[in-house]
Amino acid sequence: MAPRAYWKGTLKLSLVSCPVVLYPATTAAEKTRFHLINRETGNRLKQQMIDSETGEVVESDQKGRGYELRKGKYVEIEPEELEAVQIESNHTIDIESFVPSEEIDQRYLNHPYYIAPDGKAAVDAFAVIRDAMKDQDRVALAKIVLTNREHIIAIEPLGKGLLGTTLRFPYELRDEDQFFDDIKSPKITRDMVDLAGHILHTKAAHFDPSKFKDEYETALKALVKRKASGKTIELPEPEERPSNVVSLMDALKQSLKGRGGKKTATRSHARRATGRRQAAKKAHRSTARHRKAG
């Protein structure tokens, strides 16, 4: 059975348009979740809204929305007032521009969606838009209204369909300077950088998410299964923390051991040393020739 569409509307490129459907590209359904329960009865607990000052339970008809102007002072916003500023969805993804994918800062990427044609009649127009984007190797930027809010969505070909990823607005991103300004710029020797480079080389690979293993999720499932079967859960002994490494160079050299990197690093250092000696000899011969010519 096909999943239920999250959104239905029209994908539009100038005068070319086609009906499309959006499906969330991610899911948390398989993650292990826990509920709050009463230890004495084993029953699930229900949450209630409590007035922060009086401590009394607030019924649903008493609940409202307020914006905090200052500490403890709120301005109440009525539902109909919110409706006055809500953007009415025309259920259209109107492509406004095409940009190179490498220009999109990954920090702006938010939620991914699969975009597919809605019905057989939409396939031709959908394929035209998709294949044109493949030929141009560009990402489309468009506007879409989801859950009463307008979003910018980046659209790119993915297999037979399209991948749409909503983007964050600039005000949602923190400025990196406030986190990086205090990072010092120590003097690092070329040898240290080269050794680190060798470590990187020994770990070179290709992106393969099938190798990602959620070990915590696996352990959670095993824990629940063991506890449900009445078995005792044995707590692990706390691990001893390793002592701090004093020498960064020693740590780099130790990292290369057992990875076949030591010989590589040695050969590399030897090549550099040989290169320096050869360059020195050439400079010496050149100086000697100049003296002789003089």
What tens digit of pLDDT does each residue of 174-203 get? 999 999 999 998 888 898 899 889 988 888
Residue tagged 């468009």 (tokens): 142
Residue 82's pLDDT is 84
The whole-number pLDDT of residue 188 equals: 87
What is the structure's pLDDT at 262?
A: 46
User: Which residues on neighbouring strands pair with residue 99, listed in sequence order?
Assistant: 139
CB 81 within 8 A of CB 64: no
- Architecture of the domain spanning 7-26+85-172: Beta Barrel (2.40)
Residues 85-89: what's their mean pLDDT?
A: 75
- Percentage of the chain with pLDDT > 70? 85
**Distance of alpha carbon 277 from alpha carbon 273, whole angstroms:** 6
Binning pLDDT at 50, 70 and 90, where does residue 290 land? very low
Of 18-32, 147-161, 253-267, the one with minimum mean pLDDT is: 253-267
- Of 185 and 87, which is predicted with more confidence? 185
| Residue-averaged pLDDT of the chain | 84
The answer, yes or no, to whether residue 80 has pLDDT greater than 90, is no
d(CA 141, CA 154): 5
Residue 127: predicted pLDDT: 94
Helix/strand/coil for 160: coil
User: Range with the lowest mean pLDDT among 126-135, 169-178, 228-237?
Assistant: 228-237
Three-class SS state of 266: helix
pLDDT at 115 over 90: yes
Q: Residue 253: which residues within 8 A CB-CB, separation 6 or more?
A: 195, 262
On whether the CB atoms of residues 32 and 220 are closer than 8 A, the answer is yes
- Tell me if 23 sits within 8 A of 117, measured CB to CB: no
The pLDDT of residue 254: 78
DSSP 3-state helix, strand, coil percentages of the chain (rounded to 5)? 40, 25, 35
The encoded tokens of residue 262 equal 């030591």
Asked whether the predicted pLDDT for residue 267 surpasses 60, the reply is no
Model pLDDT, residue 282: 54
pTM as predicted: 0.75
- pLDDT of 244 > 70? The answer is no
